[in-house]
Chain A
């Protein structure tokens, strides 16, 4: 299972929006409602931001939203804040695969 493709970087000014894409195939992102997104600050634990494509865990601001079109998932961060500056990784669960969890290449968001 190959890594999902994300742009290396994205940026926006405070208050603006940024959208990160995560491109897979019809065998992973396009096949299952099992896309999740994680935020990673240097030296800190990864944090779940979105699960099952669009669902937001309690405690995650509603500025974060997820979507999918075909084999591409997206994470949108609206109303950018300084603390949103981090690395973001997508992930897809692929049951029956030799590697059931595949991650994206990661996107550094700069505010």
Chain B
């Protein structure tokens, strides 16, 4: 069974930093592009960032560019999102997901998410 488990969420002050992790099992992690998507409670989904299988290609949403950094460790089957200089607008549940398709256009499966709350 494929599983993705996020961790690292919590409360952080504005301007602070946080690192999210996503540990994967049930598929060959190193074969796939991975992504982070977030959802403000009660609102829609927003794509945050993606990283290719070998980390050669990385992309960010304009809203997080320059503040967030995505990375991965294929030996640990883990995906990371380092968040810095956070603001209230970054408060959301953060999901990791595997990217599928040619072109890489859909996400499956997803983790259950980890909540990040930015508050003083």
Contacts and interface: CB of A to CB of B under 8 A. Distances in A.
Contacts, number: 78
A36 B105 contact: yes
Interface in A82-111: 89, 91, 93, 95, 98-106
Contact of A103 (B45, B100, B111, B113): B45
Contact of A46 (B47, B61, B104, B110): B110
B31 interface: no
A22 to B, nearest CB: 12
A63 interface: no
Query: In which size bucket is the chain A interface?
Result: 20 to 34
16 contacts: A32-B105, A34-B105, A44-B112, A46-B45, A48-B108, A52-B105, A89-B45, A91-B45, A93-B105, A93-B106, A98-B62, A99-B61, A100-B47, A101-B50, A101-B105, A105-B44
Interface of B: 4, 35, 37, 43-47, 50, 59, 61-62, 95, 97, 100-101, 103-113
